[in-house]
Structure 1
Amino acid sequence: MRLGQLRAALVLTSALLALPAMADTTKATPTSKELIAKSKPAEWRTPDPENLLYMQLPQGRVVIELAPDFTPLHAQNIRTLVREHYFDGLAIIRVQDNFVTQWGDPNDDDNGDKSKIKPLGTAKPKLAPEYTRSIDPKLPWTALPDGDVYAPQVGFSEGFPVARDPAKGREWLVHCYGMVGVARDVAPDSGSGSSLYTVIGQAPRQIDRNLAIAGRVIEGMPYLSALPRGTGPLGFYTQAAQRTPILSVKVAADLPASQRENLQVLRTDSATFAAIVEAKRNRRDAFYTLPAGKIGLCSIDVPVRTETSAEAKH
């Protein structure tokens, strides 16, 4: 063996010896439930009640966590609308299969009675399009290792799915299941937060960076995803009787503590979340005989639980 070949062989051997031991592929990977049961209290965060919205439907309560670090203007405007009872008495106006559920003023629809549109009060009718923001190195960031079709990097920040373009120094929230976006007209600044939607189907990532995303549903998603589909264009309801009324929307901070949901969200910069991601990437049990070895951003649910519960809701 030549000297150069010997050196190369020694380098390769040293690298292999430095690798961690191979995982036992015959052993089933732990489930999210099992990993969460072993999590530590410090790995969970309690959302700021100022950023939580309670939307009461006849079927039950939907809890939305706003994302003011990514869309601060929209978060503030939505709080103003809620505190001035704008959404109370409005309705779910659109349910498009495999796309979104949307709520707001039925009279603001194309077929509505424009003379009866509910006034916005002191909320702003137009906002700057907060589609992306500068990457903030101070915010927690957990990158996924498997790449993405729509962005150079993807991962999680503060419990929200985020895409990044480091070359341009920009990051943005993405349209995964349960994310809450701001409906608008054609003009980029025409969205105020008076009409909102949540993704109820496969992630429509093609509309990322074309609409502002204000937050995500962290409880009560079935109340929005299981509604009858609209039969009009784009899933809009054609008759008033088809719409689900919104009884009220409130900011959690405005309610007594006894009336708040004691929800906790698993920190996406925690060891338990990293273990959940890896378990989902390489799932092996009696059913999954061939692990994928990869996972997409929108295939990961961030666990949510009640403060006194040892089990996550997702």
Structure 2
Amino acid sequence: MKPVLFAAAALAVIATAAMAAPKKPAAEPVAAKPSGPAAADWRTPDPNDVMVIDTNKGRVIVELVPEAAPLAVQRMRELAHEHFFDGLRFFRVIEGFMDQTGDPQNSGVGGSSKPNIPGEFMFKRAAATPFALVDDQQVVENGFIKSLPVSSQSMQLAAMTNDHTVKAWAYYCPGVAGLARDDDPDSNNSQFFLMRASHHNLEKRYTAFGRVIAGEDVVRAIKTGEPVEAPQDRMEQVRLLADMPEASRPKIRVIDPRSAWFKAEVARVKAANPNEFMCDVEIPAEVK
């Protein structure tokens, strides 16, 4: 089996972009954050869409977004139900890029016994999709589906498609969770990665199935290496929030991207960097 890393071409593009990318112009000063969110600005995520990853470095909480990648989310749910991920290591971790795990062989060549699933690099957005628009560029619309930053074709084009949908894709911002694969776009199985930084080169090329809503500091604390030298950091236990006993289940709430507070926060961040602000927008979460 080929190593389920990132396709060599993708890594080459990333490296080239890092060396050749022009320096961004200095951003405008960022205004003070709006006052604290009110009760109506928060939402409670579906416990079946929250993956709790307890590592030896701390806890990471990922919100799954089935609207963007239903097959990938279903696979993550199945494997978490089966305790497949428990004890698996972070075997490939690149500073300024991502943490890769989910391989029972801890090497990049393994996977679960389940069949591979096809890539879900883009998805269909309908009028009913819970998309919070924050930036309308006429041809392209940017917004959030739950905690996931998303770009899509303008919904004005939906009237011209047979199923009244448009194409959408996730931004690969810090915290976004994606499926690893080899050169075959349909080789997605159990290996996944958590982003340490933004890498737009992965967009429309790798399946994004969710985003870290708490514990991004843990993601960045995982030991780096390619491969990581022993001892490697590990996932000690991975569970869906819905599978955890009520007594030990963390209480989680996340800012609603449709809320008044979030709209004010987006406007504040966008004013400092109008052209590339989507990955600068943070979505606060509370875990108790």
TM-score over 0.5 for the pair: yes
Task: Confirm or deny that 1:274 pairs with 2:263.
Answer: yes
Any conservation in 2 of the 1:96–1:236 contact (CA below 8 Å)? Answer: no
**Number of residue pairs matched?**
250
Q: Distance in 2 between matches of 1:95 and 1:200?
A: 9
Structure 1 residues 53-68: aligned runs within 5 Å: 53-68=51-66
Shift of 1:278: 1.4
| Of 237, 256, 266, the match for 1:248 | 237
Structure 2-normalised TM-score? 0.79
Q: Distance in 1 between matches of 2:213 and 2:117?
A: 25
Q: Distance in 2 between matches of 1:108 and 1:56?
A: 17
Identical positions, percent: 29
1:211 maps to which residue?
A: 206
Task: Confirm or deny that 1:258 pairs with 2:260.
Answer: no
1:161 maps to which residue?
A: 149
Q: Distance in 1 between matches of 2:106 and 2:153?
A: 36
Any conservation in 1 of the 2:269–2:277 contact (CA below 8 Å)? Answer: no
2:216 maps to which residue?
A: 221
Structure 1-normalised TM-score? 0.73
2:131 maps to which residue?
A: 141
Q: Distance in 2 between matches of 1:253 and 1:59?
A: 23
Distance of aligned partners of 1:138 and 1:264 in 2 relative to their CA distance in 1, 3 Å threshold: same
Please say which structure displays the higher CA radius of gyration.
1
Distance of aligned partners of 1:88 and 1:211 in 2 relative to their CA distance in 1, 3 Å threshold: same
Q: What do the CA deviations read for 1:58-90 (whole angstroms, capped 9, x no partner)?
A: 122111111111111111111111111111121
Q: Distance in 2 between matches of 1:257 and 1:302?
A: 25
SS in 1 for 2:105: helix
Q: Mark the runs of 5 or more structure 1 residues left unpaired by the alignment.
A: 1-27, 283-290, 308-314
Q: Distance in 2 between matches of 1:204 and 1:45?
A: 28
Shift of 1:29: 4.4
1:179 maps to which residue?
A: 176
Q: What do the CA deviations read for 1:1-45 (whole angstroms, capped 9, x no partner)?
A: xxxxxxxxxxxxxxxxxxxxxxxxxxx94424x2xx2x3322211
Any conservation in 2 of the 1:146–1:295 contact (CA below 8 Å)? Answer: no
1:152 maps to which residue?
A: 140
Q: Distance in 2 between matches of 1:127 and 1:187?
A: 11
Any conservation in 2 of the 1:180–1:198 contact (CA below 8 Å)? Answer: yes
| Of 80, 98, 116, the match for 1:126 | 116
- Which range moves more in the overlay, 254-263 or 47-56? 254-263
2:50 maps to which residue?
A: 52
Shift of 1:183: 0.4
SS in 1 for 2:73: helix
Any conservation in 1 of the 2:61–2:213 contact (CA below 8 Å)? Answer: yes
SS in 1 for 2:116: coil
Shift of 1:146: 7.5
Q: Distance in 2 between matches of 1:159 and 1:246?
A: 23
Q: Distance in 2 between matches of 1:85 and 1:142?
A: 34
Shift of 1:244: 0.5
Q: Mark the runs of 5 or more structure 2 residues left unpaired by the alignment.
A: 1-29
Q: Distance in 2 between matches of 1:47 and 1:86?
A: 23
Tell me the C-alpha RMSD between the 2 structures: 2.3
1:90 maps to which residue?
A: 88
Q: Distance in 2 between matches of 1:55 and 1:293?
A: 34
Q: What do the CA deviations read for 1:164-203 (whole angstroms, capped 9, x no partner)?
A: 02358101122011000000111111012x11101102x1
Partner letter of residue 296 of structure 1? F
Q: Distance in 2 between matches of 1:84 and 1:293?
A: 44
